[in-house]
Amino acid sequence: MTFASGLFRTIILLGAAQGFVISVLLFYSGKDRQTNRLLALLIFLIALACLDLYGSFQGWFDRGIPELISYFVPMIVVMPFGPLIFFYVKSSLDPGFKMSRRLWIHFYPVVIDCVPQLTAMLYFAGLATGLIPRHPQPWGRFIDTYNVYSDIPRWISVSTYTWLSIKNIHSFKIKSENLTIFYDPARLRWLQQLTRGFLGFQVLWLLYLIPYVIPRYTNMMLDVFDWYPLYVPLAVLVYWLGIKGYLMAQQARQGVKKGLGKSAVLEDAAAGRILAILKKAMEDDRLYLDPLLNLQGLARHTGIAPKTISAVLNQHLHKNFNEFVNAYRVEAFKEKLLQPEVDRWTIAGIASECGFNSSASFQRIFKQTTGMSPSVYRSQVVSAGTSVSGSSPV
């Protein structure tokens, strides 16, 4: 074994070891659990592939129990890479995103990675039942040939989902610049770096894959280069993914612990922007008219984390979420009273039209806001022919 190959194998082994450690830490991280678990699974699968290659170099799977395990347990599971990248990006950008059951269809192509093991199971089952003769060569040739050409759908899958992720980030960035949504610029830069990193790896993979799948060059590629051109960058990628992804998760967690009020950058540069987005959601999109609107719903609509919304409202408007939304509903009630056909409506009916889902809570909130009951206010408006207050609640 040459010095270069020994160095490359060490890099691959260290990448695998670091990937396993970081994936466990991310998987059990308490903050953004779904997002971190998607990244943890991605890192774990890359680390598993690196470990498989290193084990093959060391002869771990040539005999005994490890050999038996290699027959039945897939170690190189690539088809989930693309969906995991895509859903990690989507979950990072959208605080309300949830992995529903229908989305698991994206992971069904993992069966492509399992065909060699399924073939081995079929062969051994046939031996056990006497339906298949003890002649493993054709089965082994099929698995070897399949392993070469299965890289084609793998490359297509990872490339497609990486491209979709880049497109999703670009669309999100445009919306953010237009003040329709808000997000942490540092996290957005991290997602751009992640997708560009995988895009760069896909280019390397394609350069290796083209001659590799041509039968006359397959053995030459393995004899001259082996798998180092792919697995050394992959080990570096998993190392970088693990460190950077874990640091981003810790920064998000520390940001919640410290509280947004202690961040001068947020107060000066971002709070006004967040408030503009929240105001747009109320005044232009009129979300307050939805009686079922809650903090999570506003977060999904704006792309702003629920805790960020609460912190900004508390610190800069001195209101909680309910006070913020109900202020718009009260103003909407006042405006309704100025319409000509108002005499035909009941107070409860108007309140319902303005987003209140309970007459009792409307009565209480209106009196807290205006200092009088809705009926008294209505009589004053009708007699005066004008509104007491028509200003924005923000």
- Are 222 and 302 in a shared domain? no
In this predicted structure, the answer to whether residue 79 has a pLDDT above a threshold of 80 is yes
Report the CATH number that the domain containing residue 357 is assigned in CATH: 1.10.10.60
Report the CATH number that the domain containing residue 69 is assigned in CATH: 1.20.1070
- Are 79 and 101 in a shared domain? yes
Which residue, of 258, 283, 310, is where some domain finishes?
A: 258
Residue 234 lies in a domain: yes
Which residue, of 258, 280, 315, is where some domain finishes?
A: 258
Structural domains of the chain, count: 2
- Are 125 and 168 in a shared domain? yes
In this predicted structure, the answer to whether residue 130 has a pLDDT above a threshold of 70 is yes
**377 vs 87: CA distance, rounded Å:** 51
For residues 85 and 254, the model is more confident at: 85
Rounded mean pLDDT of 10-18? 93
Rounded-to-10 torsion of CA 195, 200, 202, 203: 150
Give the per-residue pLDDT at 149.
95
- Are 143 and 118 in a shared domain? yes
Give the per-residue pLDDT at 245.
83
Residue 390 lies in a domain: no
Which residue, of 219, 236, 258, is where some domain finishes?
A: 258
Residue 67 CB coordination number (10 Å): 12
- Are 264 and 220 in a shared domain? no
| pTM of the complete model | 0.72
Residue 22 lies in a domain: yes
Report residue 100: phi and psi, to 5°.
-80, 165
Residue 249 lies in a domain: yes
Going by pLDDT thresholds of 50, 70 and 90, the confidence category of residue 378 is confident
- Are 203 and 275 in a shared domain? no
Tokens of 165: 């992720």
- Are 243 and 267 in a shared domain? no
- Are 108 and 151 in a shared domain? yes
In the chain, what percentage of residues exceed pLDDT 90?
A: 46
Residue 393 lies in a domain: no
On the CB side of 73, how many CA atoms lie within 13 Å of its CA?
12
In this predicted structure, the answer to whether residue 256 has a pLDDT above a threshold of 60 is no
Residue 389 lies in a domain: no
- Are 217 and 243 in a shared domain? yes
Give the per-residue pLDDT at 30.
67
Give the per-residue pLDDT at 385.
59
- Are 97 and 174 in a shared domain? yes
Residue 218 lies in a domain: yes
Residue 394 lies in a domain: no
Going by pLDDT thresholds of 50, 70 and 90, the confidence category of residue 276 is confident
- Are 111 and 244 in a shared domain? yes
Closest CA to 191 of 224, 213, 164, 229: 164
- Are 273 and 212 in a shared domain? no
**170 vs 373: CA distance, rounded Å:** 49
In this predicted structure, the answer to whether residue 260 has a pLDDT above a threshold of 80 is no
| Low-confidence winner among 119-128, 244-253, 316-325 (lowest mean pLDDT) | 244-253
Going by pLDDT thresholds of 50, 70 and 90, the confidence category of residue 308 is confident
DSSP assignment of 348-394, as one string?
A: HHHHHHTT-S-HHHHHHHHHHHHSS-HHHHHHHHHHHTS-S--S---
Domain limits at 318? 260-384
Local structure of residue 340 (DSSP, 8 states) = G
